[in-house]
Amino acid sequence: MKIINGGVCAAKGYRANGIYCGIRRNRTKKDLSLIVSDKPAACAAVYTTNLVKGAPLTVTKRHLSDGVARAIICNSGNANTCNADGIQIAEEMCRMTAGALGISDSDVVVASTGVIGQPLDLTPIKNGMPSLVGGLSDKGGAAAAEGIMTTDTVKKEIAVQFKTGGKTCVIGGMAKGSGMIHPNMATMLVFITTDAAISPAMLRKALGEDVGKTFNMISVDGDTSTNDMVVVMANGMAGNEQITSEGRDFSAFMKALNTVTVSLCRMIASDGEGATKLLECSVSGAPDPETAKTVAKSVVCSNLTKAAMFGADANWGRVLCAIGYSGAAVKVDRIDVSFQSKSGVIKVCENGSGVAFSEEQAKKILSEDEIGILVDLKDGGFSSTAWGCDLTYDYVRINGDYRT
């Protein structure tokens, strides 16, 4: 397996584009994206757990009831959520896209991201559709990735090449996510494409199993969004025998998918609103998988831990505190905690108590832009990883006037 360029267009049979059509006030930022498969593709998705859900999710769920899709249309700048005509707007976005592509409405996945509770005018989308479709290209992944950004500071895309069923296959993905990021399928849009042949049922299984270890293990600010989802399309154009059951080929697919999703998770967490540091909490020695996940998520969700990391303060008590209120049944008098970065590693807690360490060395380690928080529960053989970011002054600045 190797990382390659191209994002969502790296796999065979996909074209994409992103344009500015006029939804957003800032004309320098793209606000409409489209991904198209040259042939019908197996498709699976997972959605936000927020009870308040954007209209596009309702429409997409209905369209994916047959496990097949051809296109993904997504706008930024307006979430199309909590609007009386939201469903109608989302359906019309699908109709316009389908009409321009010559495909069925039901084969279109629709997504929106941006401000909640603001009417979404379809005029800019209608006027922009000819340019959007006309500019579709197998080199258009980067433009599409730009079109779904809101407060993101960088576009997020990756692709990997792998072997399955004796054929070379590719999985590529793009994501948006910077604020309102919290575990349990929170604020992110992730679109993944592959030319591997896999049945809709096995694609749903693969995505469902992966999400629990990746996207559900991110937290930026503790707010679970209303709109976001992860969508995977598989058009089978690599020519491998279709994956219809578990086995060697399915495992190879899962490994490649996880490589893409973990990379996107790290990109999302490191680009948290106002963030200066990526935090990766690695928990080992847990008695069961759920304990490991619960502890890791609690640490990256802790605002006090996040603030300490911003200040490069080795305040390990914040970590232990977050573990203590996580709800996991841990043996506190066994816990070890260390901090790690490219500047080294330093143990700050052993068997639930502080140990002598160099504050100067700790400061150096915590001043890097990627910080590892290593927690050993010493109570079993299970492990888990969660991703987050530091909490900075800029987070409040960005969200203080997000709507206006």
For 278-400, the fitting CATH number among 3.40.50.1110, 3.20.20.210, 3.10.20.340, 1.10.150.110 is 3.10.20.340
269 pLDDT tier (thresholds 50, 70, 90): confident
pTM of the model: 0.84
With CA atoms as reference, report the closest residue to 56 among 169, 152, 148.
148
For 106-147, how does the pLDDT look when each residue is reduced to its tens digit (9 = 90+)?
999 999 988 888 889 999 999 999 999 999 999 999 999 999
With CA atoms as reference, report the closest residue to 56 among 234, 225, 269.
225
pLDDT at 335: 98
178 pLDDT tier (thresholds 50, 70, 90): low
For 183-209, how does the pLDDT look when each residue is reduced to its tens digit (9 = 90+)?
443 357 999 999 999 999 999 999 999
Q: How many CB atoms lie within 10 A of CB 249?
A: 24
Question: Residue range 53-65: average pLDDT?
Answer: 92
So which residues are the catalytic ones? Answer: 187
| d(C-alpha 229, C-alpha 377), whole Å | 33
Question: Residue range 92-97: average pLDDT?
Answer: 98
| d(C-alpha 239, C-alpha 31), whole Å | 34
Q: How many CB atoms lie within 10 A of CB 65?
A: 8
Q: Is the pLDDT of residue 394 over 90?
A: no
Please give the share of the chain, as a percent, with pLDDT higher than 70: 94
> 3-class DSSP state for residue 59?
helix
Q: Output the average pLDDT for the chain.
A: 92
pLDDT at 186: 36
For 12-26, how does the pLDDT look when each residue is reduced to its tens digit (9 = 90+)?
999 999 999 999 888
With CA atoms as reference, report the closest residue to 50 among 230, 206, 183, 203.
183
Q: How many CB atoms lie within 10 A of CB 105?
A: 17
For the chain, the structural domain boundaries read 2-270, 278-400
> 3-class DSSP state for residue 349?
strand
pLDDT at 313: 96
For 231-253, how does the pLDDT look when each residue is reduced to its tens digit (9 = 90+)?
999 999 999 999 999 999 999 99
400 CB contacts (<8 Å, ≥6 apart)?
none
For 2-270, the fitting CATH number among 3.60.70.12, 3.20.20.10, 2.60.40.420, 3.40.50.300 is 3.60.70.12
With CA atoms as reference, report the closest residue to 225 among 150, 282, 147.
150
